Amino acid sequence: MPNTIEIRTYCGRLYALWLREFKVFLREKSRLVASTFTPLLWLFVIGNGFGSSVSLTATSSIEYQQFLFPGILCMSVIFSAVFFGSYIIWDRKFDFLKSVMVAPVSRGSIFTGKVLGGMTTSLIQTGILLAVGLAIGVHFTPLGFIETIAVILLLAFALTSLGLAIGSYMSSLEGFQMIVSFVVFPLFFLSGALFPLDKIPPWLSILTTIDPATYSVDAMRNIILGIGNRPLGLDMSILIAYTIVLGMLGTWSFKRMKAI
């Protein structure tokens, strides 16, 4: 069993790694603006544009923009978390990663610290969107707010791990962006963020079932709007399973990564 000193040392290393990622995020104010603008564009332009012609028969009392809101929250997490893996490539180019690798810190700790940094980034961005949601008529109970944050953190952990796993195998930012484009868009479009999943064809249903974002969108609709295709407990259980699997994949990939 680890003693108190070892636990404090481990937590101190994680904090130092998290703080570095958080300071990088704070210095890049344009990144926050750009990452917030795109979800807002989808929410208000697509939400109002499609909302005038889309009929949600099963949820006729809910406007399309409100139906879209949980999906836009997940969209923000998907894009920010997966693209967080690009910072591995930048750290490698500027030799920061090499200096961290030679320090008396395990690669698992480095990976965890970076994941926590990615989760913080996603949480800040979705926090802005949650405030916007209040303006369009989306209301939260205290328990519902806590559950929403839990879903966001689980999805952010899973997809930040996936982004770091991809980044650990890439040597160029251009190659990373190309590969990630084939990941983030299917994750978003197959999640049911833009449309109900109860009337889609069987072949598409198979793809949505293996998409981890599907369960986060459905969980948030359960929490925020009181609708969903599955019980909240089942959504959360599957999302936790994906988080564990992708976290293990990311850790394994990070440990095999070359620092140069």
Amino acid identity, residue 231?
A: P
Q: CA-to-CA distance for 26 and 19, rounded, in angstroms?
A: 10
Q: ∠ CA(35), CA(149), CA(189), 5° rounding?
A: 50
CA distance 139 to 225: 9
Please report the pLDDT score of residue 152 as a whole number.
93
pLDDT, mean over the chain: 82
Using one digit for the tens of pLDDT, what is the confidence trace for 29-69? Answer: 777 777 778 888 888 887 777 766 665 655 457 778 888 88
- Digit-coded pLDDT (tens) for 93-106: 766 666 666 666 77
pLDDT (0 to 100) of residue 259: 57
In whole angstroms, what separates CA 77 from the centre of its chain? 3
**What is the Cβ-side half-sphere exposure of residue 162, based on CA atoms within 13 angstroms?**
27
On whether the CB atoms of residues 133 and 54 are closer than 8 A, the answer is: no
Q: What is the end-to-end Cα distance of the chain in Å, rounded?
A: 35
Mean pLDDT of 183-189: 89
Report yes or no: 211 and 191 within 8 Å, Cβ to Cβ.
Answer: yes
Band (pLDDT 50/70/90 cuts) for residue 236 is: very high
Collapsing DSSP to helix, strand or coil, 231 comes out as coil
pTM of the model: 0.87
